Chains A and B, each alone.
Chain A
Amino acid sequence: MVRVPRPVPGCDIKSLPLRPDEAYLLSRIDGVVSERELSLITGLSQAEVTTALDRLFVLGAVDFNEPRAPVSRRAHPSVAPSSGAVSSRGTEGPSSRSFEGGFGAGPSSRRFEPTVDAPPASRRSFEPLADLPPPTRRSIELSAERRSGPDTTVDAPPVTRRAIELTVEQPRIVDPELEEPVDLDHAKKKRVLELYDALDERNHYELLGVALDADKKQIKSAYWVLAPEFHPDKYFRKKLGTYKQRIEAIFDRLTLAHDVLTSKQRRAEYDAYLEQTRRNRTMAALLEHDPTDIPAVVAAAEDAPQSGPPTSPVRLDEAGASPESVRSRRSFNTKLGSNPLRRAVADAAGVSSVPATPPPPANDSFRRYDATRNEARRLQLERYVLAAKVALERKDLAAAANAYRLAVALAPEDEGLARKATEIQQQAAAELAEGFLRQAEYEASQGRWSEAAVSFANVCKARGDDPRAHEGVAFCTLKTGQNNRRAIDFARRSVKLAPGVGEYRLTLARAYMAAGLETSARVEMERAAELSPNDARMREAIAQLRAQMKKPDGGEPEK
Chain B
Amino acid sequence: MERVIGIDLGTTNSCVAIVEDGVPTVIPNRGGYKTTPSMVAITEAGKRLVGHIAKRQAITNAENTVYAAKRLIGRKFSSSQVKHAMLSASYRIVEGPHGDVRIQLRDKTYSVPEISAMVLQEMKLFAEDYLSEPVTKAVITVPAYFNDGQRQATKDAGQIAGLDVIRIVNEPTAAALAYGFERNVEKTIAVFDLGGGTFDISILEIGAGGVFKVIATAGDTFLGGEDFDARIIDWLVQGFRDQTSVDLRQDRMALQRLKDAAEKAKCELSGVRETEINLPFIISSGRNEALHLQRTLTRDAMESLCGDLVERCVEICRQTLEDARIEREEIEDVILVGGMTRMPRVQEAVRQFFGREPCKGVHPDEVVALGAAVQGAALVDESKQMVLLDVTPHALGIMTYGSNFEELIPMNTTVPTSRSKIFTTSRDNQTAVKILVMQGESAQAEGNELLGEFVLTGLRRAPKGQVEIEVTFAIDSDGIVSVGAKDLETGQQQSIQVTASSGLTKEEVGAMMEAAKEYLVERRSNDEFEGVKQEAEKVIADIEKMFPKVQAIVQSSDFGRDAIEKARSILERCRDAIARKDLTALRGQMDSLARTHRMFKGVIARPQG
Contacts and interface: CB of A to CB of B under 8 A. Distances in A.
B385 to A, nearest CB: 8
Contact of B416 (A232, A237, A545): A232
A557 interface: yes
Contact of A544 (B205, B208, B404, B477): B404
A482 B477 CA distance: 31
A252 interface: yes
Query: What secondary structure prevails in chain A residues at the interface with B?
Result: helix
Interface in B402-457: 402, 404, 414, 416-418, 421-427, 430, 432-435
A548 B435 CA distance: 14
Interface stretch (A223-231, A389-397, A399-407, A458-466): A223-231
Given A255-B389, A554-B426, A225 B209 contact: yes
Nearest to A553: B427
B207 interface: yes
A339 interface: no
B555 interface: no
Given A555-B434, A557-B400, A557-B435, A236 B379 contact: yes
B426 A558 contact: yes
Interface residues of A, number: 41
Contacts of B404: 544
Contact of B468 (A224, A482, A543, A547): A482
A51 interface: no
A529 B209 CA distance: 59
B401 A224 contact: no
Interface string B456-483: 0000000111001000000001000000
Interface in B205-234: 205, 207-211, 213
Given A248-B416, A252-B417, A557-B434, A233 B426 contact: no
Interface in A213-247: 220-221, 223-225, 227-228, 231-234, 236-237
B519 to A, nearest CB: 29
Contact of A228 (B209, B418, B430): B209
Nearest to A224: B207
B387 interface: yes
B433 A555 contact: yes
Given A233-B477, A484-B465, A553-B427, A224 B402 contact: no
A131 interface: no
A556 interface: yes
A329 B418 CA distance: 43
A553 B401 contact: no
Interface string B366-385: 00000000000011101001
Contact of B421 (A231, A481, A554, A556): A481
Nearest to A549: B401
A291 B127 CA distance: 78
A319 interface: no
B398 interface: yes
Contacts of B112: none
Contact of A555 (B209, B432, B464, B465): B432
B387 A234 contact: yes
B402 A544 contact: yes
Contacts of A223: 207
A449 to B, nearest CB: 11
B388 interface: yes
Contact of A554 (B414, B422, B433): B433
B427 A554 contact: yes
Contacts of B360: none
A548 B404 CA distance: 12
B389 A516 contact: no
A224 B386 CA distance: 11
A548 B379 CA distance: 47
A540 interface: yes
Nearest to A552: B427
A236 B380 contact: yes
B325 interface: yes
A514 interface: yes
A520 interface: no
17 contacts: A220-B205, A228-B210, A228-B211, A236-B166, A236-B379, A255-B414, A259-B414, A484-B465, A514-B465, A544-B400, A548-B401, A551-B401, A553-B426, A553-B427, A557-B434, A557-B435, A558-B423
Given A221-B208, A259-B414, 5 more contacts: A220-B205, A221-B207, A553-B430, A554-B433, A556-B434
List the 4 closest A-B pairs by CB distance, nearest first. A554-B426, A481-B422, A544-B402, A224-B207
